[in-house]
């Protein structure tokens, strides 16, 4: 069963996780403290060697993830027709479930733009 959500997980081939085990300074995490601040009673003794230093993760998206989709005219017309029959939100869900290979990247704003563009060109 497909659940429709605004948030779609990114395929693993589209990003890379880089770990920095030796805690060298990097721009993305340089403001984070390397040791946590602990408020405790005087009877508790914690040494800085016993604290675990956080790992640093850097997520890098590949350029192919940010590519623009080129829609064919007949795909636009079909989506606009479904939007006029079902309404915008239901049309988006219908198209993404029934034709995921074509419409999985279709957003509500894109469909609204197509409809507005058609209205303006007919006026």
Given pLDDT bands bounded at 50, 70 and 90, which one contains residue 8?
A: confident
Res 23 pLDDT > 60: no
- The Cα-based distances of 46 to 33, 53, 54 in angstroms read 17, 14, 17
Res 115 pLDDT > 80: yes
pLDDT tens track for 93-114: 999 999 999 999 999 999 999 9
The one-character DSSP state at 95 is: H
Q: Domain extents for the chain?
A: 12-65, 69-122
Close Cβ partners of 44 (under 8 Å, ≥ 6 residues apart): none
What is the model's pLDDT at position 58?
Answer: 67
The one-character DSSP state at 32 is: S
What is the model's pLDDT at position 16?
Answer: 72
């Amino acid at each position: 069963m497909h659940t429709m959500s605004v948030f779609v997980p990114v395929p693993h081939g589209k990003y890379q996780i880089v770990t920095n085990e030796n805690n060298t300074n990097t721009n993305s995490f340089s403001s984070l403290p390397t040791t946590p601040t602990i408020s405790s009673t005087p009877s508790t003794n914690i040494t800085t060697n016993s604290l675990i230093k956080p790992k640093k993760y850097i997520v890098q998206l590949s350029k192919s993830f940010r590519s623009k989709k080129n829609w064919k005219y007949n795909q636009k017309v079909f989506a606009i027709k479904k939007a006029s029959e079902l309404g915008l939100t239901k049309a988006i869900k219908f198209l993404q479930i029934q034709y995921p290979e074509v419409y999985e990247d279709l957003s509500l704003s894109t469909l609204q733009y197509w409809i507005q563009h058609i209205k303006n060109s007919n006026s």
